[in-house]
Amino acid sequence: MRTLVYAHRGSSSEAPENTRAAFDKALEYAIDGIETDVQLSRDEVAVLWHDRFLGKLGMPARHIDDFDLAELRQMDFAAHFSPDAAPQGIMTLREFLESYRRRCRLLVEIKNRAWESHARQQLKLRQTLEEIGAHEGEVIVSSFNLDSLVYAHQCAPEFSLVYNLETNQTMQDAERVLESHPFLCGLCLPIEILDAGIAGSLHAHGRIVAVYTCNSEDEIARALALGVDILISDMPHKALRMRDAYEQVA
């Protein structure tokens, strides 16, 4: 099976992450998919933002959910990337799906924060699943929070759900998670812990192997050699070039 290349928050090495500019730049290449992150604004709208804080916007002590959508619309989410970058407003999940779902595969990561209430986290998941369910195309939902994925499965058992592992987790952790949560279609692993044992075990059990974030040539080459299903990169153009070269000699 061919390794699919997903642009991490868009082509985030070339344009401000999780903005229309980054997603459009990624689609200038023959990418297979886009990865993005979902959080909630204060007025409970699903929006695209990765970080815990707004340091990139000059507000290191503030969160995305300190502001309503209308207030976020007034902020420039590209200013941190380059002083010459064209201003970019925040995107809602609905806008993202409407613009890109029919153009490539999508991987939507649900971000949970310690300061959020349990009810708010569940609301974010329900809203995300409802938005995705209203559109066409192939979408995978992922999270570092296993309880969130359990709740997502209860709400929409037909969805493809992937659990994200941290760098301090092991093959034993991966096997325990899959044994206790058989509804998961796979795992997303940091490149630092990916090895032949984990990749082989996941594939032997018919699970997807996704890996993040592969930017160096060594990281990309290792992921390709181990036959991962999804390779997530800030530099999709490099990953695509290396994948095509790898396939020619494989």
Is the distance from CB of 83 to CB of 23 less than 8 angstroms?
no
Domains and CATH numbers, the chain: 4-40+102-249 (3.20.20.190)
Q: What is the DSSP letter of 59?
A: B
Coarse DSSP helix, strand, coil percentages of the chain, rounded to the nearest 5 percent? 40, 20, 45
- Burial (CB count within 10 angstroms: exposed 0-12, middle 13-18, buried 19+), residue 45: middle
pLDDT digits (tens, 9 = 90+) for 6-16: 999 999 999 99
- The tokens describing 47, both together, are 């929006």
Name the percent of the chain lying above pLDDT 90: 94
pLDDT digits (tens, 9 = 90+) for 122-162: 999 999 999 999 665 799 999 999 999 999 999 999 999 99
Q: How far apart are CA 132 and CA 93, in angstroms?
A: 9
- The tokens describing 207, both together, are 């699970």
Query: The pTM is what?
Result: 0.96
Q: What is the pLDDT of residue 135?
A: 65
In one-letter notation, the amino acid at residue 108 is V
In one-letter notation, the amino acid at residue 97 is L
Rounded to an integer, the average pLDDT of 100-129 is 96
Handedness of CA 67, 69, 70, 75 (dihedral sign): positive
CA distances from 72 to 41, 43, 45, 161, 222 (A): 8, 11, 11, 29, 39
In one-letter notation, the amino acid at residue 249 is V
Q: How far apart are CA 228 and CA 243, in angstroms?
A: 11
pLDDT digits (tens, 9 = 90+) for 40-82: 999 999 999 999 999 999 999 999 999 999 999 999 999 999 8
- Does residue 246 carry a pLDDT above 90? yes
